[in-house]
């Protein structure tokens, strides 16, 4: 591991300007987040700069929305070019970017058709609606009785329907009454899925890797078993790849990396290139075709600006370079994290450039670890106790990865 010398700029400024900006935000913005005490004003590649001139390596990438880093030139160019032509029409009219995006994205992820939306939560809601429609119109399930199997520990968004099948009290408590029609089974247990299927089951919705839960990786063969079970029982397999997809794990999709093709896949975050929200559901034509005009939509979904940016994202992924970088540097990340086990790290789970790291709770909470990392020039996010997540841009370099890992080592040493 490269020797970490720290960043003098992180101690050289008065906190007055930053504290004032944070207090201003807290006065007018609802407190639905608990951000780290940093006010970012610029970004470039894997780095951001705060309003006092301090630089940080962004090891969160906006939960994988910034897979290609801040202000990737190809993506910015696509956005600027489209801004000069046309930004929004609504789906009341056709535009010249959506059709090409549909063809290119479907080719990238191995599906037949796609339905564009904006946020990841909207993509999941869309997939749930498509599954229910398919169940009633194709499978013949009785009206208002469709069931969808989900996994414990899931995180698919924050809409009422989605938190209805969350078991995270922070996401769920206080928001009832909840939407019925969901059956929860343990994550990683394919036999439990098979046992839960009834004549009313229309779909199984699974994160190939549970990100919010701490980058939980299921047992080998889990996704293949789900594919086998759902096919045998005429049930749809919905893979939520909003975080795991588009290069993060070293392949275009985590399901692809496991040799599996779901019936529906939800995409978001990185699809907008870190510039604007873009999401989609892609899937089999016979499933996608169940929806009829007027039954579902979005004013901004599929707009020409977001479509142009998403096309540039697809082009980057078509090259295979981001995926290869995630594989190559993911192997290096594994070595660096493995060396920290027993030195502040209890355990970790890692695939590609995505890691959930369980820090010794005697050193502090995950929040305290991230606050210490902040002082060492790295931005990261905690989840569930003393677990932190690392998900740097897929464009990160060897030297930047070394910087991130050295900063983590220094932060753990400081806490010890």
Compute the CA torsion angle 209, 215, 219, 221 (nearest 10 deg).
30
The answer, yes or no, to whether the previous bond of 177 is cis (omega within 30 of 0) is yes
Residue 351, phi-psi category: left (phi > 0), alpha (psi -120 to 50), beta (remainder):
beta
DSSP code string of 205-266: EE-SSBTTTTSBPPPTTHHHHHHHHHHHTT-EEEEE-TTTTTTTTSSS-HHHHTT---SEEE
CA-wise closest residue to 6 among 334, 337, 373, 288: 373
CA-wise closest residue to 240 among 282, 199, 274: 282
DSSP code string of 163-182: HHT---HHHHTT--S----E
Q: What is the number of other CB atoms lying within 10 angstroms of the CB of residue 157?
A: 21
Write out the catalytic residue numbers: 155, 240, 269
Q: Which residues of 66-96 are buried (b: 16+ CB within 10 A; e: fewer)?
A: bbbbbbbeebbebbeebeeeeeebebeeebe
């Amino acid at each position: 591991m490269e020797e970490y010398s720290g960043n003098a700029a992180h101690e050289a400024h008065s906190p007055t300007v930053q504290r004032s900006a944070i207090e201003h935000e807290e006065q007018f913005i609802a407190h639905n987040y608990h951000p780290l005490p940093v006010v970012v004003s610029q970004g470039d590649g894997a780095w951001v700069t705060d309003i006092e001139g301090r630089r940080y390596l962004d090891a969160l990438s906006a939960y994988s929305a910034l897979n290609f880093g801040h202000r990737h030139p190809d993506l910015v160019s696509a956005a600027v070019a489209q801004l000069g032509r046309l930004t929004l029409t609504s789906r009341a009219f056709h535009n010249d970017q959506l059709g090409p995006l549909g063809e290119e994205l479907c080719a990238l992820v191995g599906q037949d058709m796609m339905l564009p939306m904006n946020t990841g939560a909207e993509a999941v809601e869309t997939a749930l609606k498509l599954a229910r429609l398919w169940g009633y119109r194709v499978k013949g399930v009785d009206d208002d009785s469709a069931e969808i199997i989900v996994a414990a520990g899931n995180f698919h968004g924050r809409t009422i329907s989605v938190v209805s099948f969350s078991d995270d009290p922070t996401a769920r408590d206080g928001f009832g009454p909840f939407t019925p029609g969901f059956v929860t089974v343990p994550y990683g247990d394919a036999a439990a899925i098979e046992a839960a299927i009834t004549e009313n089951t229309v779909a199984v919705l699974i994160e190939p890797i549970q990100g919010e839960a701490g980058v939980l990786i299921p047992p080998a063969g889990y996704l293949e078993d789900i594919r086998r079970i759902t096919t045998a029982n005429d049930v749809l397999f919905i893979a939520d790849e909003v975080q795991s997809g588009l290069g993060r794990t070293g392949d275009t999709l985590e399901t692809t990396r496991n040799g599996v093709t779901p019936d529906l896949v939800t995409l978001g975050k990185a699809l907008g290139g870190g510039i604007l929200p873009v999401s989609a559901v892609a899937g089999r034509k016979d499933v996608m075709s169940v929806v009829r005009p007027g039954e579902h939509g979005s004013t901004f979904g599929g707009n020409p600006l977001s479509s142009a940016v998403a096309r540039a994202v697809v082009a980057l992924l078509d090259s295979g370079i981001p995926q290869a970088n995630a594989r190559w540097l993911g192997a290096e990340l594994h070595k660096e994290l493995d060396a920290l086990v027993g030195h502040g790290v209890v355990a970790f789970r890692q695939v590609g450039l995505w890691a959930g790291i369980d820090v010794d709770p005697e050193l502090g909470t995950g929040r305290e670890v991230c606050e210490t990392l902040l002082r060492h020039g790295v931005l990261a996010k905690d989840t569930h106790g003393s677990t932190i997540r690392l998900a740097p841009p897929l464009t990160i370099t060897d030297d930047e990865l070394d910087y991130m890992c050295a900063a983590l080592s220094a932060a753990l040493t400081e806490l010890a």
